[in-house]
Structures are given as C-alpha cells and as structure tokens.
Chains A and B, each alone.
Chain A
Amino acid sequence: QKEVEQNSGPLSVPEGAIASLNCTYSDRGSQSFFWYRQYSGKSPELIMFIYSNGDKEDGRFTAQLNKASQYVSLLIRDSQPSDSATYLCAVKDFGNEKLTFGTGTRLTIIP
C-alpha cells in the first residue's frame, strides 16, 4: 500500500516568515511529486511539481526533493495571510496515472 505522509498540523507561522511543509512517501518507484493548495470548501489547486532531486523555485514557493530520503518539502517565503490553507502533497509513479495524496497539512499565517 503506497503511502504519503504529512503532518496534519495545524502549523502556525507569523506573517512574513518562512513556512516549511514536509511530506514523506513510501514507494521508491515514485517519479513525480506535486503540491496542491486547498482553501476551505474549495477544490485543490496545483502550486508546484518537481521530478528531479534538488530545489525548484517559483516565486515565493520552493519545492525540495530528496529521493534517497523519500522526502519532499514546500517552502513558502514571506508568508501572507492568503497562504492560509491546507497543503496537499501528491505522488505519481512511473507508468501509473493516479496521484496518491497525503491527508494534508493545515497552515495558518498569523498577521
């Protein structure tokens, strides 16, 4: 059974600080990694994806992947109140089209 683990939170971060969200996965065959943001009562929206070891930056967001440790993280710099949401980590295996989601981490940015 493939698993994607996230700390459910809530994670509280002061406005302007860096929020760090973590995710571990069980299947070494996993190839693609995605971060989704889900506001309360809304559907998930894709923030970033990463395939290769290392860092990938997009604006205030940085995804980090370490396949050896089976670990993927999302950093949010200069956190804003609008970043308050649940962040879902998702993993896709090569040749398997479905995404396996973690249960999400609830992030609250404190003004």
Chain B
Amino acid sequence: GAGVSQSPSNKVTEKGKDVELRCDPISGHTALYWYRQRLGQGLEFLIYFQGNSAPDKSGLPSDRFSAERTGESVSTLTIQRTQQEDSAVYLCASTISTGPYGYTFGSGTRLTVV
C-alpha cells in the first residue's frame, strides 16, 4: 500500500481481555517495528521484524505481549490479559531494509483498557 496501515485505530477493552492489533507495512518494506507511546511520553521500542523473523524482541514488556509477522507483510501484536498500564498508542513502522534508514510510521492504534 501507499502507507503503513494500522487497525483498529481505536480500541477500548476491559481489563483482562485479550486484544490483537494489526499492521500492514508499505509494500516491499522488509523491516517492521512496533513501538508504544504512553500519553505525554516518548516512543518505547517493543519488537523488530526482518521478514518474518524477530531478531530483537527485547522491548516486549512481559510474556503477555507477543507478535508475529507473515512473510514480509502483515504483523499482529497480541496483548493477553490486558492491564490498565497497557493503555497507550501502539505505533507500527516499516522501512525498506535494514541499515541507516528512517522509519515510516502508521497512524497508530489507541488502546484504552478500562
């Protein structure tokens, strides 16, 4: 596609429920990243994919968080047993390859856990 597409744009869920966030990167972009941004704070790295493998998942906060990617396309970030501290905007980004390239971000999914 023309840009990085994320869905849903907004998600309100009850504490303890599981949620799945989706990211569709720019066509041809092999590298895909997930970040989290809490209200008024900076971007927090979660996980990075090169193709469908995840060489760096060091930012996943706990084992409630997992992510997968199908080939060089869609990625899903799953949060199990959501907690209120999971409330944030989850941003996905992609780039054409590894190396000294900046990212193109999607518009994000705003997750609210009530």
Q: Which residues of A contact B (CB under 8 A)?
A: 31-32, 34, 36, 42-46, 49, 51, 88, 90, 92, 96-104
Contact = CB atoms under 8 A, between A and B. Distances in A.
15 contacts: A32-B100, A43-B91, A43-B105, A43-B106, A44-B91, A44-B105, A45-B105, A46-B102, A49-B100, A49-B102, A97-B48, A97-B55, A98-B56, A99-B103, A101-B35
B42 interface: yes
Interface of B: 31, 33, 35, 41-43, 45, 48, 50, 55-56, 59, 91, 98, 100, 102-108
Contacts of B59: 98
Contacts of B45: 98-100
Contacts of B35: 101
Nearest to B44: A101
A104 B42 contact: yes
A97 to B, nearest CB: 5
Main secondary structure of the interface of B (DSSP, over half): strand
Contacts, number: 51
A88 B31 contact: no
Contacts of A49: 100, 102
Contacts of B102: 34, 36, 46, 49, 90, 99
A97 B100 CA distance: 8
Contacts of A46: 102-104
Nearest to B55: A97
A31 B42 contact: no
A31 B100 CA distance: 8
A88 B43 contact: yes
B48 A98 contact: yes
Contact of A97 (B43, B56, B106, B107): B56
